[in-house]
Chains A and B, each alone.
Chain A
């Protein structure tokens, strides 16, 4: 098949930048990476990009196609070529470009390393000459985080990093959750304290681009949500983001609605909210803020309170509640509803593990 591509070329040595168009003949099963190989072999040997495994596991070939981060080895080109579309290929975002499609990954790895990404045993010493005994369903909690191949697609797309380059970012925080959720790790509270810093958990803007563009289904935004929930559960709430989240819960529990007028003082503190008074009054006059008194109570507030109570009773505060929801959704995704017990019970039941043939 004929495949056309426009590739953003860049030379750090000269600073030259140019969009170049290539048209090649490729086999029907060709991926974007295969097509780049053909360009490099036959058209232009100076084209630079990273590659290795070509099977979605090494994480080398992160780049952008039509402005969205992809693994080049995962994109089959057949439909694109058939549609006569000529995609634009460029380097990932949020990282300095070295040459063509190659970015400097050093800032990425520095953020990874700042998470102290290694197991820190603590609560219990590892048994000598034996493994830790842990139920599989307990390990399932970090199943998605463990899939991360450090390709950088999430970082490329992160809106928070674009405005605040110091933000730890989706991949580093997902790595953090991998340890926070690991029952063998003894530093959960220290980690949550650390990750709750200025550029940590609460700096995420929740745009969900990382979830959208992760080629491995890690869902980094969900990992960040789990860290946030766990931090609040552990009482680590000095960040405004945590206070904000806590007030949402409190407000929903008590009246079934979000009480915006109280949100600002609860999040920012009294002094800061006094400074906002003039602005708030203006909003109130225009009818943009409901009056604080009498409190507006939702019609079915009992349901909200029951839900809140249930979560407490089941001990599903922190990341556990989110994980339970994820697993239920995953089962639905695979069309498994109605087969066997509901997802919540599957969670608690040890899975059969004996190999069979």
Chain B
């Protein structure tokens, strides 16, 4: 073992850093492992904001926030967790502000709040359109203040299970090469999502579902893996995100005829309906021939230069660089793109997984606050509130237990597997498999799903998984071998794709982000008001179901 700590956090985005800070403040010796420097994490790309019922702009309270979230989840969210979430969110926001987060202010000098999709009140606290960046900076500042150890550019490869507990992580040291074993009395996964499964995605190259796949291989349950959120406004052709805040500030979607089509699909909420609803509406417009180059238009031209420069300067810059349009004068071409995984490693509301000593928080986890569809602004809040809860819980457990042991056999197995992977002298380069996976997932498991296409996609994934053991890593060196880590990431993604398709084809209904307009167009609470649970058994996914935890809200028809 190269080092050990009370609490070891894997991933250093918003959830990971918030967990590490909480664990440190609870008295534990904490370290973080991350394949990127903390400020490079994809949380930093979040734009629009973070939801908490502060009531600074309109009447609001945690109960309304909870109801909006339950309804947004299409009743698949676990209501006890959602109530904890919305109750604790406001104080977590104040904590961030006290640490120095540079949020935008309202006329009274309090935190401004903007309207977001499917929210009953303007509830989204924000920093212009770089909210994630501001949060990443303030959390990293607090990490530096506490002098928390960060194993930077360590690529986490395997979780160590010993004696029925998770006791550490085996990583590849990118800068220096070699496997490093870091022990932890408790381990917190905060590795983010897996948007890179899709060709059109808002997600960074780093978002390859590492934590979910490591937990899956350890035999842990993943929950609701079929629910991938498609964000309605990702730019054509790059897939880069344009924030929902654009519509929050008054932007509207138009089709090729210039028609504000959301009026037809969601007469009340219009452009600010829930994300699944807006994405489906866009896709319908495009499929029925009212798109332009497979896109629709996000029109901000009526907002005026001053508002765009004050509130949406980052989005303007993104549009200018990547789409070649200045939104002050021209609409931005947008289409739905893979954005957020509602599913993930199953945890309780303290982030604890099925395995003693292993916790998860943020997008890698499924608490589940988001159910079948996440509301914009709820994911940053989830990383903070559940990051903190997981950090505190993991520290408490670690401080009341003492031993860490990583059996030699585990290290030897890892060494052997690595040697085998690097030892291949020929084979297929991973990018072909990666590109085929990304294109086929978008084609067959995108905004709309149907039986035949999903069955076909299962065959495709089986084929890709057959090819994967032959992939060839060209770089044999020790220093910054990203060729090696990218090959390992591809393996993670293939396993996750298999669980997603199995859960998707079995869910014979339409709920939230899982939409089957041709064969099962409606929600079926009788058969499917339940979580999908995926486990890895004998080299493949195995599906079962689990009850949704309900407290106060009975399922109703969902209209916006």
- What residues on A are CB-neighbors of B301 within 8 Å? none
Q: Are B102 and A353 in contact (CB under 8 A)?
A: no
Main secondary structure of the interface of A (DSSP, over half): loop
A-contact bits for B448-480, CB 8 A (1 contact / 0 none):
000000000000000000000000011101111
- Given A355-B113, A355-B122, 15 more A-B residue pairs with CB atoms under 8 Å apart are A42-B429, A45-B483, A48-B479, A52-B40, A52-B205, A55-B322, A56-B318, A58-B42, A60-B37, A98-B479, A129-B94, A133-B110, A147-B130, A353-B105, A357-B248
Contact with A54, one of B37, B204, B306, B482 (Cβ below 8 angstroms): B204
Smallest CB gap from A330: residue in B: B309
Contact with B108, one of A100, A133, A149 (Cβ below 8 angstroms): A133
Q: Are A146 and B102 in contact (CB under 8 A)?
A: yes
B315 to chain A, nearest CB (A): 11
Bound form: Cα–Cα A43–B238 in Å: 23
Bound form: Cα–Cα A117–B143 in Å: 10
- What residues on B are CB-neighbors of A353 within 8 Å? 104-107, 112
Bound form: Cα–Cα A50–B40 in Å: 10
- What residues on A are CB-neighbors of B110 within 8 Å? 131, 133
Smallest CB gap from B37: residue in A: A105
Q: Are B37 and A350 in contact (CB under 8 A)?
A: no
Which of B39, B473, B474, B481 has the largest number of chain A CB atoms within 10 A?
B39
A-B pairs, 7 with minimum CB distance: A45-B474, A119-B100, A353-B106, A355-B114, A41-B431, A126-B98, A118-B145
Known: A45-B483, A55-B240, A355-B249. A132 touches B107 (CB 8 A): no
Interface size class of A (residues with CB under 8 A): 35 or more
**Which residues 56-91 of B have a CB within 8 angstroms of A?**
57, 91
- What residues on B are CB-neighbors of A51 within 8 Å? 205
Q: Are A29 and B237 in contact (CB under 8 A)?
A: yes
Q: Are B100 and A57 in contact (CB under 8 A)?
A: no
Q: Are A133 and B109 in contact (CB under 8 A)?
A: yes
Q: Are B477 and A55 in contact (CB under 8 A)?
A: no
Q: Are B106 and A55 in contact (CB under 8 A)?
A: no
- What residues on A are CB-neighbors of B44 within 8 Å? 53, 57-58, 149
A35 to chain B, nearest CB (A): 14
**Which residues 319-357 of A have a CB within 8 angstroms of B?**
334-336, 339-340, 350-357
Q: Are A136 and B109 in contact (CB under 8 A)?
A: yes
- What residues on B are CB-neighbors of A76 within 8 Å? 321
- What residues on B are CB-neighbors of A42 within 8 Å? 429, 431
Interface set of A (CB-CB < 8 Å, partner B): 11-13, 27, 29, 40-42, 44-46, 48-60, 74, 76, 98-100, 102, 104-105, 109, 112-113, 117-119, 121, 126, 129-136, 139, 142, 146-147, 149-150, 179, 182, 184-185, 334-336, 339-340, 350-357
Bound form: Cα–Cα A142–B480 in Å: 36
Contact with A355, one of B98, B145, B248 (Cβ below 8 angstroms): B248
Bound form: Cα–Cα A58–B35 in Å: 13
Bound form: Cα–Cα A134–B106 in Å: 9
Q: Are B204 and A136 in contact (CB under 8 A)?
A: no
Bound form: Cα–Cα A232–B425 in Å: 65
Q: Are B483 and A40 in contact (CB under 8 A)?
A: yes
Contact with A11, one of B114, B272, B473, B479 (Cβ below 8 angstroms): B479
A59 to chain B, nearest CB (A): 6
Bound form: Cα–Cα A147–B39 in Å: 13
Bound form: Cα–Cα A147–B93 in Å: 20
Bound form: Cα–Cα A79–B128 in Å: 32
Contact with B306, one of A56, A105, A336 (Cβ below 8 angstroms): A336
Which of B44, B57, B482 has the largest number of chain A CB atoms within 10 A?
B482
A-contact bits for B124-164, CB 8 A (1 contact / 0 none):
00010010111001000110110000000000000000000
B188 to chain A, nearest CB (A): 21
Contact with A60, one of B36, B93, B100, B483 (Cβ below 8 angstroms): B36
Known: A13-B479, A58-B42. A113 touches B144 (CB 8 A): yes
Q: Are B321 and A56 in contact (CB under 8 A)?
A: yes
